[in-house]
Amino acid sequence: MIIPRTSIISRTLRAGRLHHTTSCSSKNVVNIVEVGPRDGLQNEKGVIPVDVKVELINRLGSAGTRYIESGSFVSPKWVPQMAGTAEVISQMERLPDNHYAVLVPNQKGLDNLFTLLDSYTPSSSQPNPPVNEIAIFTAASDAFSRANTNISIADSLTRFVPVVRAALERNLRVRGYISTVISCPFSGQVDYKQVRDIAKELMDMGCYEVSLGDTVGTGTPASVAEMVEEVKKSVPVENLAGHFHDTFGTGVVNVLTALQHGIRTVDSSVGGLGGCPYSPGATGNVATEDVLYALQGSEYDVSYIDLEKIVDIGWWISEKLARENTSRAGRAVKARRLREAKQAEKAKL
């Protein structure tokens, strides 16, 4: 059922929405939003130490990543992997031109963030505030929304109105997520008109960008193109992002399809971290390494991020988590390095 255009979202918020534009001037620069430290880690097994999370974020920043999801103010009872987010964002290095976001599921999560921000004192070593952006999330499927947050889509949107308003009043950017934009693990195919209407509601609420998430990873170039074109009828494409999981190996080609249809922001996860706890078999986000490699030599520019460093980070975090590195490019680069090292050793003999 398509959500009607009702009073769910106060139209007065339009006037209060902060306007943010990307720092990249070229229309073909692709903004990579690194979601590994949040969306990736929260779906990995076990509790990840704070120092590992901090080092992951710092390494990603040093590799040129400008947009980093750094944690989530959710209850550690439900998402133990996100425990210690306050410590993480307090200890991580904050580069002056970077955006560091945290996921905020409700008013309580936002209050916890405000408590941290209120206690922050700038210093010579850390002159920048812990975060400058929050993310909120809903779904395009009521069944998924209820499984994930125990409330309907409409109720989730209503709940976020005061959250967004309060964040904007504190000069925090707000990014919106919509899960299951292609299909739902419980109810099947999603109505793209529903995705369009929800994206419009999030924009009216005050989000500067809406990330369209193929959470299950069933998307194909055809379905992604159809979905994006439908959403573009109500939301400017420059305010949309693509978020693709690689369950069926179509993550990279879906990224390319989204770019061909005008999207210029893509979510990805170093080493292919992540998954979906409500979708058996769903793998992590498309790997950052794979996206960077695929765009080399193309009309799309991601040269501000160092692919070789990202490969190193992917292997480092995978080893820390005792998991398989699912990045195809990461594995290929490592194999090339080993081959070159062996050839260099032979040449010395």
Asked if pLDDT for residue 34 goes beyond 50, the answer is yes
Asked if pLDDT for residue 20 goes beyond 60, the answer is no
Q: Per the structure block, which two tokens stand in for 220?
A: 């194909």
Number of other CB atoms surrounding residue 202 within 10 Å: 28
Q: How confident is the model at residue 22 (pLDDT cuts 50, 70, 90)?
A: very low
Residue pair 233/199 in contact by the 8 Å Cβ criterion: no
What is the CATH number for 46? 3.20.20.70
Asked if pLDDT for residue 208 goes beyond 70, the answer is yes
Q: Per the structure block, which two tokens stand in for 207?
A: 């989000």
Q: Is residue 276 among the annotated active site residues?
A: yes
Residue 176 lies in a domain: yes
Asked if pLDDT for residue 8 goes beyond 50, the answer is no
> For the chain, what percent of residues have pLDDT higher than 90?
77
For the chain, the average pLDDT equals 89
Q: How far apart are the first and last CA of the chain?
A: 71
What tens digit of pLDDT does each residue of 102-125 get? Answer: 999 999 999 999 999 999 888 877
Count of CA atoms in the C-beta half-sphere (13 A) of 15: 3
Residue 282's pLDDT is: 65
Most confident of 38-52, 65-79, 292-306: 292-306
* Higher-confidence position of 264 and 150: 264
Residue 25 lies in a domain: no
* Higher-confidence position of 101 and 11: 101
Q: How confident is the model at residue 5 (pLDDT cuts 50, 70, 90)?
A: very low
Residue 26 lies in a domain: no
Among candidates 243, 233, 38, which has minimal Cα distance to 139? 243
What tens digit of pLDDT does each residue of 256-308 get? Answer: 999 999 999 999 999 999 876 666 666 789 999 999 999 999 999 999 999 99
Residue pair 290/256 in contact by the 8 Å Cβ criterion: no
What is the pTM for the complete model shown? Answer: 0.90
Residue 242 lies in a domain: yes
Strands 240-244 and 67-72: unpaired
- Rounded CA-CA distance 5/26 in Å is 35
Residue pair 124/157 in contact by the 8 Å Cβ criterion: no
Most confident of 4-13, 80-89, 129-138, 256-265: 256-265
Residue 16 lies in a domain: no
Residue 211 lies in a domain: yes
Most confident of 37-46, 140-149, 171-180: 171-180
Asked if pLDDT for residue 55 goes beyond 90, the answer is yes
Residue 201 lies in a domain: yes
Full residue range of the structural domain in which residue 181 is found: 31-347
Q: Which of 24, 184, 207, 276 is catalytic?
A: 276
Q: How many domains does the chain have?
A: 1
Residue 18 lies in a domain: no
Compute φ and ψ for 62, nearest 5 degrees.
Answer: -70, -20
